[in-house]
Every structure is written in structure tokens, then in C-alpha cells.
Amino acid sequence: MTDIAKAIVFVPAPNYGEAWDWAYDVEAAALQSGGFTVEPRPWTEPGELGHRDIILPLVAWGYHDDPQRWHTLLDKLEAAGANVVNPVPLLRWNSDKRYLEELGANGVPTIPSRLITSMDEAALADASDRWGGDVVVKPPVSASATGTYRLRASEALPADTLGRPMIVQPFLSSVTEEGEYSLILFDGAFSHAVVKRPKAGDYRVQPHLGGREEPCQAPEGAIAIARAALAAAPGEPAYARVDLVRGNDGGLKIMELELIEPSLWLQYAPDKGESFAAAIRRRFNP
């Protein structure tokens, strides 16, 4: 490698309250092993960006707390012709969970998702009646289970959901019984999988909420579904995490596509992140 590639990895704002080094460290180490110099920068304070730099929003946690600032940053990066990986149009599309309806419309097995433009009790009751049980309500722009609730039709809506656009989905008990699968792919090639499970009495699998993960084999049919979902996205991601859960019909469903700032769990990758670094390296413009 005659050219030294510089990777600027976006990380959270300095006042972000959640630990993030556990995700950054393993990804930065893989990039360094792949011949990159790596510099972390808060996505809220990106500074000057050289035209040869690769910009990676791998740990841009908290973007959902200030979506206007996030989209302003994406617009500036796009206008400047910055070498952003994944590309800006893909990041923009993936920033709003309305894409789940699009995937479903394109025939990708996806957890049923309805956008309610102004959430109220009638919408909650209708969704519960439609799907026959508890529902999950979450903002279209969200991460880390922020603003996510499991609700019964008879429950009062939390104040921060009333009158706001919200995504409503059926609650799937398989999340607590079997877990949520994450498949990690680089340039469309499957690398490894983990299964995430919530702590007892919860349904959220995020680590900061007590969830835990462990490496696993990809369930039968999961890789094909993951590739179908990525093929329906508006661009080809260098890195992707595809989260799946088993539906009430026994089939696997897409829960989310994570193309912005996913935990990639490279410590569980058979090559410890070599294929990840290679996918990023292929996008370096010397």
C-alpha cells in the first residue's frame, strides 16, 4: 500500500451520555490493520475535511436527537463532494424508518410497519386490533430504542408520542423468546452474525439497556433476505448490518437496516474485520 488512506470516523458529540468507545475501538483497530490512519471527530464538529479523506459515520451516535443538524451535515458533505462511506444518499434514506414500508412494498419480508402522521389513541387501538395484541410505537427517526414503547390498546399514550409522526409495528414475542438476529455484510458479502437478547422482563436488546449479544450461525434463509433488502436500497453499502426477527408466521422479517452507525461486532468476525477494512479501502481515492 503506497498511499496512506486517512479515515475520519464520526463519533458522538462531546456531551453524549452513552459509552461509545467499545464500538469505536474495534472498528478503528480493523481500519488501522488495513492500512488506514484513523481520526475520531464528533459528527457535530466535523472540521475541515480533505478531499482524499474517507469519511465514515460509523459511530455518529445521537444523530437522531438533532435530525436537522444531521441532514444539514449530510447536505454539506454531498455538496463538497466528500468521500463519504456509506454514500450520502444511502445515509439520508436510512435515517428515517419510513424505508421499512418501502421494503415491504418491494416484496422484502419486513415486519409490518405503519406510519401514523399524528399519533393518537384511535391509531393505537386500530393497530392493536389489526395485529391482535401489543404494538411497538417508535419515532421514524430514532436509534438506541429512544422513544420506543410497547403498548396495549387500553394504555395511555406517552406524552412524547401524542400528535407526532410515529411508526407503529406489532410486538413480536420472538424478540424475547428467540432473540433478534444481526447479519453483517461487507460489499454485499456475508461476514458473520450475532443474536441479541434483552434482559429478563424487557424487550429491548440494546447493550445500554441490559441486552446482550453472542455470535451465532445465520438462520436458514436469513442471508438471502438480507441481500434482498440491500438490493432494494438506493445504493450499494460498503458495510451493512441487517437486523431480523421471526414473525408470527414463523418466517424471518427485516426489523431494521443499519447503514449509518451500526455496531458491527468485528470481534466476532472470522477475519477480525479484514473484509470490512478491504471494503472501505476499495473506496479510497488516492
Whether 22 shows a pLDDT value over 90: the answer reads yes
Residue-wise pLDDT for 255-279, tens only, equals: 999 999 999 999 999 999 999 999 9
User: Which residue's C-alpha cell is 393497530?
Assistant: 127
Mention every residue, 6+ apart, whose C-beta is less than 8 A from residue 49: 8, 55, 77, 80, 82
Whether 286 shows a pLDDT value over 90: the answer reads no
How much is the pLDDT for 2?
46
Confidence at 45, pLDDT banded by 50, 70, 90: very high
The set of long-range contacts for 199-208, using a CB threshold of 8 Å and a minimum separation of 24, is: 202/176, 203/136, 203/150, 203/171, 203/175, 203/176, 204/145, 204/148, 205/175, 205/179, 205/180, 206/144, 206/145, 207/263, 208/18, 208/19, 208/144
User: Which residue's C-alpha cell is 488495513?
Assistant: 34
**For the chain, first and last CA: distance in Å?**
11
Q: Give Dmax over CA atoms of the chain in angstroms.
A: 64
* Cα→Cα distances 64→43, 86, 96, 137, 223, Å: 12, 17, 9, 16, 28
- Residue that wins the pLDDT comparison between 198 and 191: 191
Rg (CA), the chain: 19
* Cα→Cα distances 217→85, 130, 184, 185, Å: 27, 34, 12, 14
Residue-wise pLDDT for 112-138, tens only, equals: 988 988 989 898 888 888 888 888 898
Q: What is the 3-state secondary structure of the chain?
A: CCCCEEEEEEECCCCCCCCCHHHHHHHHHHHHHCCEEEEEEECCCCCCCCCCCEEECCCCCCHHHCHHHHHHHHHHHHHCCCEECCCHHHHHHHCCCCHHHHHHHCCCCECCCEEECCCCHHHHHHHHHHHCCCEEEECCCCCCCCCCEEECCCCCCCCCCCCCCEEEEECCCHHHHCCEEEEEEECCEEEEEEEEECCCCCCCCCHHHCCEEEEECCCCCHHHHHHHHHHCCCCCCCEEEEEEEECCCCCEEEEEEECCCCCCCHHHCCCCCHHHHHHHHCCCCC
86: cis peptide before it, omega within 30°?
yes
How much is the pLDDT for 152?
82
Confidence at 106, pLDDT banded by 50, 70, 90: very high
Whether 20 shows a pLDDT value over 90: the answer reads yes
CA–CA distance, 194 with 268 (Å, rounded to integer): 8
Q: Are 239 and 155 in contact (CB under 8 A)?
A: no
Structural domains of the chain sorted by starting position, each given as residue range(s) with its CATH number in brackets: 5-95+274-281 (3.40.50), 99-110+174-259 (3.30.470.20), 114-170 (3.30.1490.20)
**Least trusted range by pLDDT, from 30-34, 160-164, 275-279, 282-286:** 282-286
How much is the pLDDT for 282?
93
Active-site residue numbers? 212, 241, 258
How much is the pLDDT for 273?
97
